[in-house]
Homo-oligomer: A and B are copies of this chain.
Amino acid sequence: MASSLLTRQLAISLQQNLRLAAPGSRYVSKTATKTVSEFEYDAPSMKTAVPGPNTNHLQLYLSLGLQNVGAIHFFCNYEESRGNYLVDVDGNRMLDVYTQISSIPIGYNHPALIKVMTNPNNVSAFVNRPALGILPPENFPEKLFESLLSIAPSGMNRVQTMACGSCSNENAFKSMFIWYRNKERGYASPSEQEVGTCMINQSPGCPDLSILSFMGAFHGRTMGCLATTHSKAIHKLDIPSFDWPIAPFPKLQYPLEEFVRENAQEEARCLEEVEDLIVKWRQKGKPVAGIVIEPIQAEGGDNHASPDFFIKLRNIARKHGCAFHVDEVQTGGGTTGKFWAHEHWGLDDPADIVSFSKKLLTGGYYHRDELQPDKPYRIFNTWMGDPSKNLFLSEVLNVIRRENLLEEVTRSGKALLQGLYSLQTQYPHILSRARGQGTFCAIDACSDATRDSIMLKARNKGLFMGSCGEKTIRFRPALVFKEYHVHQLLNILNDILAEHK
């Protein structure tokens, strides 16, 4: 490579810098610990502005070889990170309430997960990644029952692991299409014409079916998922798509309790539109095989809807013969105070498919028996997940149960939401629309520029948050986020808002 000299020089100068960066004090118990407070730090600690000089060096180095480095916030020292605190390569220690885009379930370097890694019985699961669909390891059924099937949503008997959220949704969509066409052909074998035309992408073998999604939704970025994602133009621009129906998602007023009547009207309007679209697309010759929805629209701006809305939507799906797919990739795993956000709806029988990833460490989806494909190899790929992630997940679930983390999330979430209400009362010209379930909380700034400015200032004071929608700050802490972390967060935010011009 022409750039190898520069690369080498950068690497050398970087190593020198890193040696100088002190990691910051921390409390690490040498013996096995049970709770997050025994092994994590007690507060943020900042040494430089973020990004600091070491991040800048590394970013330049990486820019020589990576597709794009423009989205990098900072480089991390994961070895030194603990619990709710993320340490960067400049020795800055931040309270992390974004947690790798909501994908770290029980904090950094949890002792229970380190034990999984260092257990000699587990080595083989990491070193020999199997083609799970054809040659599963001996302990795969046991680990599946211990982990994913032990937390299966009500009415869901079956699961399929996948490697990531997009693959989970892509394959969930495929299951719905297969189910829908099997119903249409009366569970008979496909015709010769279907078998022939599918090989060349033509109908009837590749039928003109559709998935109904919602404005503001995010279901992933592979091309099937992307056709149901409508949160930001940057995700979709220049990528060919499908002519599938897109319904409005309710634009509710917060706090929900204070706008019950207005919100119910808005939800009714959206549900009416859903039924109209289903009829219209059927008439167009592109029937809706499935409806996909998030319990809380996350990337789209933390948009909530009422249990009543989802119950009625589920009934519309049933009435029109569409499968009902709840995408819990971001909401699943305990962050709303229940393991699955859709459990808040109070339905025994809520969905045909529930997909997950992120905090579950493995991707995948649950489905009802009816959604089981009629033949093997219809839903298939080389890896079909990764059993080493199931080992970690089993242990995460143990920790959640042992430490009653769902109760903890409910408690911390209440404190967080109350704190956000106070802040928006105190700073009504800056903040509004505080909302949340569990610790899955958000608040809007008065503009995107103000939002971005608050977030950067907070980062420099040791609070790392995420954004979503147009001007929303989203909170996505790990399940080990306690009330005293809430107070740290609120204190930092308050300081910034008090100084805000």
Known contacts A358-B382, A380-B71, A383-B164; A110 and B127 CB within 8 A of each other:
yes
**C-alpha gap A62/B144 in the complex (Å):** 8
Q: CB-CB contacts of A205-241 with B at 8 A, as 1s and 0s?
A: 1111110000100001111100100100111111111
A67:B227 contact, CB within 8 angstroms: no
Residues of chain B lying within 8 A (CB to CB) of residue A223: 170, 173-174, 222-224, 227
The segment from A38-46, A196-204, A399-407, A429-437 that touches chain B is A196-204
Q: How many residues of chain A have a CB within 8 Å of chain B?
A: 132
Q: CB-CB contacts of A76-91 with B at 8 A, as 1s and 0s?
A: 1111010000100100
Residues of chain B lying within 8 A (CB to CB) of residue A379: 67-68
Copies in the complex: 2
**C-alpha gap A447/B186 in the complex (Å):** 32
Residues of chain B lying within 8 A (CB to CB) of residue A128: 78, 81, 104, 108-109
Residues of chain B lying within 8 A (CB to CB) of residue A236: 198-199, 201, 205-206
What is the distance, in angstroms, from A410's C-beta to the closest C-beta of chain B? 25
B164:A237 contact, CB within 8 angstroms: no
The segment from A131-139, A253-261, A418-426 that touches chain B is A131-139
Asked if A29 lies at the interface with its beta carbon under 8 angstroms from chain B, I say no
Q: CB-CB contacts of A370-387 with B at 8 A, as 1s and 0s?
A: 001101111111110000
Asked if A347 lies at the interface with its beta carbon under 8 angstroms from chain B, I say no
Asked if A129 lies at the interface with its beta carbon under 8 angstroms from chain B, I say yes
Which one, B71, B109, B244, contacts A127 given CB within 8 A?
Answer: B109
Closest 7 CB pairs of A and B: A70-B376, A223-B224, A67-B160, A201-B241, A206-B241, A71-B376, A181-B238
User: Could you show 9 A-B contacts with beta carbons less than 8 Å apart?
Assistant: A68-B372, A81-B128, A108-B127, A109-B128, A165-B381, A177-B238, A207-B238, A210-B240, A237-B378
